[in-house]
Structure 1
């Protein structure tokens, strides 16, 4: 995306997903900062978000002086705000300070943010990230454990029936569970609860989400599919390149909503035909959706996203960064 016009909140959300795959990420960061300075944000209240994103990009490229400059500008833009975006920027500042060898300053930045674990759903992620960078993984686990205990005590009720019912507790449990696994710690009752809620969430998604949106036709199958049912180019794209681009954009969109464990569902014409059964038209939307649901419940799925330098998920043989990663920005 060329940052030459007014930036909307949607533009910033797209950049958060695509900036690190850009040819010049640091140029994107500088352009974001310039857009703020030049008043080229559709909503001036987005200045803090734009500058925080610039800081994240610079940090990812170990340009710590630039990252600190951007995040300080973000905090100036937030002013006296004490909501989650402002707290996330402060946690990012602590992370950058840790990387710069300024641990005392970083720790002083983090301690006041600790109550956010029981206030903001995303606080568990950004505080854990900062503490781990600072070599304080065990402290992060303790913070998360105490937050789980506090929320459970405040609920004073039976086990949550679902991730939605758990609310903020779900995010703290999941972050704690992942961290304890990374630290090699044994499962406890909170880990077991995290796994039960995650299973319930996954089952609910399989039951309600349009799996057909992630149905992937490898090149030979795409050619056979559209040759037999030309009208399906409306659903899957006129060319295999367009088909892959649609899938990549949908995966990026779903990732932006917080979905994890994303995967594409490789289909075959013979599999679709067998699913439909004799006497029925395999190309109907109902049959295609049912086929996708069956694939989603199985194990023959392709996890997304691959590493930038790994083979692309589409099977082209090219690296992801040279193949489907850029397609999300077309």
Structure 2
């Protein structure tokens, strides 16, 4: 017989609110199932397989005028001891409460709680163990042991292990620079601290902090972005990271570091550089006259003086040529440098 019909054998009405019960039952122990909320006066007490599947796929489902609670699982044990854990999903930052229960709730002493076979605390009379803020590292197999006092067997008994998985509330954030981690100097850049809460805890809120080279830029703000309107090479180049944290600060995670290198602007461009006018044409060499050629005189001394004069003219001409070549070389080098800078 299905659980829904069994419950209706106890209660003549269907309850529309949350059905509360313990996750684990001891054989021969009495447990109370409580359905909270206003009752319905509909006569039908059981639902079809299709309706039951729909109920199990939704936390709050209505069909044919009925509203059903979330399902829960009952495990019946015949052990002397059982360990009761949370009956709902547990996330990072939640409290964890464990109960070590004896058959028919007989009194216990020297109770020890274990995780992965290692004792979490020394023996004590308390049958409850709690962790105020759990981390993912608290996941594992838990069990408890205790010694029965009268009227129990008087020996130490051990419960079966219970697997407890602490789910991730949100992944470690990743810091991204938009549009680029190498912005041009004077341009804008936006740092985005990217992470996302679990869908089951989407109603919670995260706060974000930003850091650069070991110093804080902003602390615990609701915005996941940091905007730099005008990037400066000296001021904004460096190593950045961000941090996402819950509002109570119990859970916080840091992103890997991101290097930002602001690119300096070119100081001059080819169009702005002063232009160097190319040198004009060289003056024509003086035309040799008949006297310069030595036809006017057969005196060797006079011919020698004429030859020396021609050599002086050639020297002057070569001097002009050297100056013009030097100016042309400077002009060509300047043009090549500007093209390379582009």
TM-score by length of 2: 0.22
More helix by percentage: 1
More strand by percentage: 2
